[in-house]
Amino acid sequence: MNAKEIVQNYKGIVEPRKIASLIVKAKKLGLPEHMIEDVVQDFVLKIIEFKYDSQKSNGASEITALLAIFENKIIDIVRRLEFEKDFIEKKSHSVVFECNQIQPLQMRMDIQTALKVLTPVERRTCMQLANGLTIKEIAKLQKWRFTKARKIVSEIRNKLTKMNLNKYIDEKC
């Protein structure tokens, strides 16, 4: 289905310019043509629910603010596709996945993506959290004040949330 047909599918539901802008952004970010219709379908409810507030927009237009929300999600999809393509090319076509292998592969891709944006201190702290240490224990181990450790953990959480990886955040620690 081409872009005009996709826009027409949502006429009367969502402003055509919003769908058209989403399609243009997805193409610019490298999303394959055959996936655009599915991505638009996934995002339509979010577009409908989106509440633009010019007071909080830092001067961004409604379309710009809306596209900023979807940009990270589209980039994430494109990265995953590239990783899967590389993985398949390197491992050959004879690799057979069992259902329980796909979840760890997805987690590994998410972790690799996250590690690229974390600083060395944040990576170390993240690993300590993953190993079960509390913020208090990390502060003591690193000889930091508790507030510094809590701030670093907060920065990690913010970065993971911006990358749509907040499913890995344990709010208890």
Q: How far apart are CA 126 and CA 24, in angstroms?
A: 36
pLDDT at 74 over 80: yes
| pLDDT confidence bin for 103, thresholds 50/70/90 | low
pLDDT at 147 over 70: yes
> What mean pLDDT do residues 140-163 have?
89
In percent, the amount of the chain with pLDDT more than 90 equals: 12
Tell which residue, 87, 86, 103, has the closest CA to residue 95. Answer: 87
Q: Are 141 and 124 in contact (CB under 8 A)?
A: no
- Give residue-wise pLDDT tens across range 116-143: 788 888 888 887 887 778 889 889 988 9
Q: How far apart are CA 71 and CA 143, in angstroms?
A: 39
Q: Can you give the pLDDT at residue 102?
A: 43
Q: Can you give the pLDDT at residue 95?
A: 41
pLDDT at 45 over 60: yes
- Give residue-wise pLDDT tens across range 2-43: 888 888 888 888 899 999 999 999 899 888 888 888 888 888
Q: What is the pTM of this model?
A: 0.50
Q: Can you give the pLDDT at residue 150?
A: 92
Q: Can you give the pLDDT at residue 173?
A: 43
- The tokens of 37 are what? 């219709």
| CATH tag, 96-173 | 3.40.50.2300
Q: What is the number of other CB atoms lying within 10 angstroms of the CB of residue 53?
A: 8
> What mean pLDDT do residues 51-74 have?
85
Q: Can you give the pLDDT at residue 53?
A: 85
Kindly write down the DSSP assignment for every residue of 94-152, as one continuous string.
T----HHHHHHHHHHHHHHHHHHHS-HHHHHHHHHHHTT--HHHHHHHHT--HHHHHHH
Interior CA angle at 50 toward 18 and 2, to 5°? Answer: 25
**Residue ranges matching CATH 3.40.50.2300 in the chain:** 96-173
